[in-house]
Structure 1
Amino acid sequence: MGRHGAGRHRLHVLRAVVDLTLPGAGHPGHRPDPQLPVRRDQARATRLDREPMTGSRATPTMDAPPLLDIENLAVGFRTGTEDASMPLQGVNLRVPRSSRMSLVGESGSGKSLTAAAVIGMLPEGAEILRGSIRLDGEELLGASKRRLRDLRGPQIAIMFQNPRASLNPVLTVGGQIAEVIRTHSDAGRRDSHLRAIDLLDQMGVPDARRRAGDYVHQYSGGMAQRAALAMALSCQPDLLIADEPTTGLDATLQQQVLELVVEQVTDRGASLLLITHDIAIARQTCERTAVMYAGRVMESGPTASVTSSPANPYTTALLRAFATVDEGRMYAIPGTVPTLLDPLVECPFASRCPEVGEECRDGVPELRTIADREVACVKA
C-alpha cells in the first residue's frame, strides 16, 4: 500500500466516504486522455479573465436556509504534550442549496481541514473544540458513526486531490462504484454494475463497459479523476465537496475536469463546495466564493464581486499575487502566516496588512454583512 496506506486516505475509512502488475505497452492505461478543443479566445485569456462556466439554474439566494451551515468551527491538534495547534479558529461558512461555492486560500489556511470536519474524517490527533456543522438542518457534530456513514453518499460526498490514493487499488473501478450503489440502495449486483458503467460513460470514460473492469493504476490521471467523480455522484448526493480536483493535471485536462464537475452538479441540482488555492478557478466555476486565511473566513459573497472589488485587504493581496503571475511576474505577500499555536487575539492578517491600524489589533474581527457580502475587517 506504500505511503498511502498509513496516510489520511486509509482504505477502510475511504469506503465510508461514499460508503500490482503494471500495464504493458499498448494497454489502454498508457493512452492519452482525449483532448477537447480549447477555444482560441480562451487560450489567449489570462486565468483571471476566463469566462465563468454557467449552469441552467437561477442564481441562489442567501435568504433561504443553507444546505450546509458551519458556525464558529474550531479544530485543534494535540501532540501529547502541552503544545497544541488550532488551525481552525472560528470558521463561518454557508453553502446555499443548488449552488456552486468555492473555498479559496493559501496552502495551510484550513480549507481541507474544514472539509474533513464536515464529513467526519478528521486526521489523527485532531478534535473539534467548538462550533456547529448542520447539513440540511441536521447537526453533524456529535452524530454517531453509523449516522455519518448513512449520510455519506446519498447526502454528501467528496472528491480528494489524488484519485489514485482514494480508490482501492485491489478492486476494479466499476466494482467499487457498484459496491457504493449497493450499500446505499436495494440494487442487486447486476443492476449496480450496469449503473456503474453508465456513470463512467456519463463522466466521459471511453469504452466504459470494458474500462469498468480495469484497476485505478490502469487509468490515466484525468480518467482516474473522472472515475472518482462517478463514484462520488453514484448516490445522487445533495452536496459534493471537491478538494483540489485538478491537482497534478495539465491545463487542458484541468479545464475538462472542471467543466465536467460543473455540468454534472448542475444537471443533478446538487450543491458544490470547491476547495482550491487558485482564485482563477473559483472565478471560472463558482457563483459564490469564500476566502480563507489562517483558519478563518475573511470574506464571502458573489464571486464576481469578491474578485472584482474585494473588501478585505487579504483578498486584495491574494488577487494581486495571481494577477502578477499571469503577467509573468511574481508578487509575494509580505510577512508570515500566524503560527496558530494559541487563540487569535487580533486580526490574523494584521501583521501583514498594509492598511493595519490600532483598531485591527483590538480583538478578532467577525464577519459582518456589507452590501452583497460578508467581510471580516473593521475597516471595510
Structure 2
Amino acid sequence: MEPIYLDHAATTPIHPKVLEEMIRVYETTPGNPSSIHRFGRDARKLIERSRDLVAKDLGTESKQIVFTSGGTEADNMAIIGTAFSRKDKGKHIITTKIEHHAVLKTCEYLETLGFEVDYLDVNEQGVISMEDLKKKLRDDTILVSIMYGNNEVGSIQPIRDIAHLLESHQAVFHTDAVQAYGSIDIDVQDTPIDLLSMTAHKINGPKGIGFLYIRKGVQLDVYQHGGEQERKRRAGTQNVPGIVGLAKAVLLSKEDLGRRTEKYMQFRQCLLDIFDESGIIYKVNGHPKYFLPHIMNVYFPGANVETLLTKLDLAGVAVSSGSACTAGSIEPSHVLSAMFGKDADESRHSIRISFGRDLSADQVEEAGQIIAKSVKDLVTN
C-alpha cells in the first residue's frame, strides 16, 4: 500500500502552486532587498506585496507584520521582546500549562532572569478558566501568552474573551496561532490581539518562514542585532522566496477553507464510525465543540503509544503522539498530563491524527481500519 500521512499538525507538504511561486523568485529575483539598485528593488517589491497580502488577511496594516524564520522565533520575539520592553512596569507573566515548548521554554528562560510566571491549569477539555485568569491577573502583569488552538488536542481557547478582558489592562496579549492559522478565520480587529505568531509550513507553505503580527503601539525590545531590516525589528537579510511562498500559502488557505473544514469533519466521523464498528474502546480527547477541525486526539486504553506508533508506521500509516522521545523512551504528553493529571492513562495511551488537504476519503478509511486492527491486536495480546 501507499503510505498514508496523517501527521499534518506536525508539518504539511508544500503546495505545488507555492513551490512554483518560490522557484520563479529563485530564478528571476536574485537581488538583496536592502540594495538600492533595480535587482534589490524588485526583491523589495515582492516582500512588500506579500506583507500587504498577509496584513489584509488578518485585518491589519502591512507595517504591523514582521517576517521571521518561523513560529518559534515569532514566539520568542513576542515574549522576550515584551518582557524586556515592559520590565519597568512589572515582571509578572501569565501563560498556560499546555503551550507549545516554544512558549514554555521561553517563559522558563525568563524565570531565570527574575520574571515571575503563572502557568494556568486547563480542564479535561483542554480549556482555561476565565475566572482563573482573572484571579491570576495582577497590577504588575505585563504579558499574557495563550495559544489560539492546541497543537495536540485541537481545543480552542476563549481568545476573544481574553482579548477583551485585557483591553482595560496594561498587559500585552500574545497568542501562538501556529496551529490555528489557516484552519479558522482570525481577525485582529474583531478580536483585539496585540501579538500573534504563525508559521508557513503548517499551511502547505515552506519551512523556515513565518511572521509576528505586532499591534500598532506595542513596543518590543530587539534582541537580534545587525542590519535595519523589517523596520529595525529583526536584523538579517530577508528570505524572499520563503516570504513569497508564505503569502501564496495564506491565499490558498483562504480559498477553500470552508470545503476543507467540511472534508475534515467527514474524515473525523469516518474514523469514529470505524472505531465503533470494530468494537475497540476509545475516547476522543479535547473539547467536543470548539476544536481545530484538522486535529483529532484519541485515547486507546491499554494500547502502549510507543508500540502503537511503531506498528502503524510499519503498516504505512503516519500519526504521532504528543509525547517527546527522550533517551529512547516515551515521556507523557505535557498537554494530556495537564488535562487529566500527571499519571493519567490518557497521557501514555493517546495518539494524534491530523488531516491535510491532499488526503482522500479512501485513504482515511483505509488508515482507520489499520488503526482499529492495530489497537485491537495490542489490547488483546
Structure number with the higher strand fraction is: 1
Structure number with the higher helix fraction is: 2
Q: Normalised by the size of structure 1, how large is the TM-score? A: 0.29
Q: Normalised by the size of structure 2, how large is the TM-score? A: 0.29
